[in-house]
Structure 1
Amino acid sequence: MAITHLKGNVVNLEGNEVNVSDLAPVVKIVGQDLSEIEVGGEKGCAQILVVVPSLDTPVCAAETRKFNEEAAKLENAQITVVSMDLPFAMGRFCTTEGIENLKVGSDFRNKELSKAYGVLIADGPLAGISCRAIFVINASGVVTYKEICNEITEEPNYDAALQAAKEATSTSCCGSCH
């Protein structure tokens, strides 16, 4: 069982721990229009899964804005921000914040992504939602980068994640990501 921290206190994570060089589990999350979005696995392009606790926090909002800005600069990549927020709240957030360059998806129904990637918070005041994490998956469906933020209340290492994303996008693309 992996751990992270919430304001210095240890928080345990549950689910299947996914590491670099593992095949990325294929899971379904809920889009802001209530449609199913499939992420993970082989997609023919790079995928960046940005897992956040809730878009309704300043750190998660800032992170999503940053990845939205960077998504416009990446080719052959699909960025999906995943939270436990209800799809309607995600839609309001995206409209208000001008989020147009990435997808947002909710893991609220079955917590399928959180369990499959080992990012579900098991205890403490945030039990039942996801920690802050990033997974970069190459076109072949292999995880090439993983970051579980040591402190949930702090932003990830954008430079490292974006460098991994650029490396993962350097493979040929079938054009299905855009």
Structure 2
Amino acid sequence: MIIEIIIVLILIVIVVAVILLYNGLVNLRNRVKNAWSQIDVQLKRRTDLIPNLVETVKGYASHEKGVFENVTKARSSLMNASGVQESAEANNQLTGALKSLFAVAENYPDLKASQNFRELQAQLTETEDKIAYSRQFYNDTVLRYNNKVQMFPSNILASLFKFNEAEFFEMAESERAVPEVKF
């Protein structure tokens, strides 16, 4: 009788442990999806701001057609991106195009003084900060999730229930280089 009770208790502990591990995996997977959604929201906000910014700059720098085309292409790539890696690449492309656009804006003092341009630039800067924070939060969440998927004993359940590792949101190799500062 005592052996049967011990066996039942051991089975109950095992079942509870499996349930807790499974629920932990589901919880982390959903957090990864939520964190990605937060990045997606900020990227969408950014793409919504860009046409206004481009139109404002166009009024002052109409002969800079190539820069506008690059920004428009990069924006389109970001809007059509699917998945973490593709979105990261499109985001990096758009960041480079926006740097060119702001470099063009530097050559036009009247544009820099424009209230509309300053407001758009401030909103874009705020959005860039939110994107950076969202990327960091997403990657932290992915790290916790991937650790749970890979570590024993939860890796056994993860493989049984097809919990796959999530991708990190990574920056382009070109952005890893240390910028050169000259005086």
TM-score range (shorter-chain normalised) is under 0.3
User: Considering only CA atoms, is the larger Rg found in Structure 1 or Structure 2?
Assistant: 2
TM-score normalised by the chain length of structure 2: 0.24
Greater per-residue helix proportion: 2
Greater per-residue strand proportion: 1
